[in-house]
Amino acid sequence: MRISTIGCGYLGAVYAASMASIGHEVLGLDVDQKKVDDLNRGIAPFHEPGFEKVLQDALEAGRLRFSTDYSLAADYTAHVICVGTPQLIDAAGADLTYVHAAVDALIPYLAEDAVVLGRSTVPVGTAASLRERLRAAGRENALAWNPEFLREGFAVEDTLRPDRIVYGLPEDPAESARARAVLDEMYGTMLENGTPLVAGNYATAELVKVSANSFLATKISFINAVAEICEATGADVSVVAEAIGLDDRIGPKFLRAGIGFGGGCLPKDIRAFMARAGELGVTEALGFLREVDHVNNRRRDHVVNMARKELGGSFTGKRVAVLGAAFKPDSDDTRQSPALYIASKISGRGADVVVTDPAANARVHAERPNLAIAADAYEAAAGADIVLLLTEWTQFKELDPVRLREVVAAPVMIDGRNVLDPAAWREAGWTYLSMGRP
């Protein structure tokens, strides 16, 4: 299948390279010349394990190229919208500017039998409105929605071996059959391997995506709310999570208490979902997501308060080492990162903050010039009055408490991700504090 992806950010670039790796001819389109040039040279514009290899192999095989020339789309059959849908600057809803621009840029070059597919996370109702947009421009092309579920850090694996494939198909039977035929061919390898396929209408497919992310966010905030109760009672949230997770109706995943969720998806998706519910006149249906958001924000401030207390009530003149800046390990993405929020807040209150992250140091340096950067945990912790572990990179989980103790001014560790062994750290002379554990 000849596939063009519109948007070569994280989602589009990983999708383009992954689809080329299973034999499709793929063209990645983007308006950003530098990004396109990097990708054509096999350079990943972001940190994603395994991506650069898939990219380079596909380029070498001659099945993948990137361009800013949208007229090339005329030779392709499936056009996949992969652009971002960030939160609006002044409201909770999703900004659809890039989605509309992607469709408008395609319209002049759509071949008669071409199919337009959407993978971006969008508010329910968007696919129907994009179909209208095509019709208003005199285009009769089939349009379908095909949400993605990839996780940063596992993006290639999640694209090539997804838990499920979802089709949101148009009502018109002939249009639906055309879209389905193209989708079935695109995902032939995965469907043959037994990947479950779930099909519904546009609204259903759009809702699958936002419901999945909202459920995951709810699970995290649920266990973080339990962590608050644990802190008030002396219970241990990690044992509670382990025990409830053994019930296979609940399951153990996404029950890690800590400083909460961040990233370019979960926080903005729950807000956009609430905003859309408001537009649809069913605000109350998602009222609980407001609480999910509140619990999540409270955890970040809780760490700031814990650190201040340990430092005797004030950050002024104190040196604080922050281990981790990305919103999760194996990523350099700092969007809505709880770690960076905490580092910035503490810096704003007068502390001398030194951050280190195995992948996000350059990004932090560019975006938060007030934060000092260190090459690794030992350098960051040198002379520190307190150390905060905020992103659970393997490098930090494997830190040697004896060696780290030698470089700090005071051995106080707040483990915001509950990943260190409390006994080992206490034995090495540290005051060790974590989230929802005694």
Catalytic center residues:
265
**3-state class of 5 per DSSP?**
strand
| Closer CB to ligand UGA, 42 or 245, in the complex | 245
Cβ-contact 384, 418 below 8 angstroms: no
Least distance from C-beta 162 to ligand UGA, angstroms? 10
Residue entry with tokens 């509309």: 100
**Alpha-helical segments (H) within 246-322:** 266-279, 287-310
- Residues 146-185: x where in contact with ligand UGA by CB under 6 A, - otherwise, as a string: --xxxxx---------------------------------
Q: Is 327 in the site for ligand UGA (CB under 6 A)?
A: yes
Query: Starting from the edge strand earliest in sequence, which strands make up the sheet with 25-29, in order?
Result: 64-67, 25-29, 2-6, 78-81, 115-118, 142-145, 165-169, 197-201
Q: Is 50 in the site for ligand UGA (CB under 6 A)?
A: no
Contacts of 366 (CB under 8 A, 6+ apart): none
Positions in 195-214 near ligand UGA (CB under 6 A): 213
> Number of residues in contact with ligand UGA, rule: CB under 6 A?
21
Tokens coding 142 = 């089939």
Cβ-contact 228, 140 below 8 angstroms: no
Least distance from C-beta 163 to ligand UGA, angstroms? 9
Q: Is 339 in the site for ligand UGA (CB under 6 A)?
A: no
Q: Is 46 in the site for ligand UGA (CB under 6 A)?
A: no
Least distance from C-beta 152 to ligand UGA, angstroms? 4
Least distance from C-beta 234 to ligand UGA, angstroms? 22
Q: How many helices (H) and strands (E) does the chain have?
A: 18, 14
Quick one: 199 exposed, middle or buried, by C-beta within 10 A (0-12, 13-18, 19+)? middle
Positions in 250-269 near ligand UGA (CB under 6 A): 254-256, 258, 260-263, 265-266
Q: Is 328 in the site for ligand UGA (CB under 6 A)?
A: yes
Q: Is 12 in the site for ligand UGA (CB under 6 A)?
A: no
> Which parts of this chain interact with ligand UGA (CB under 6 A)?
121, 148-152, 213, 216, 220, 254-256, 258, 260-263, 265-266, 327-328
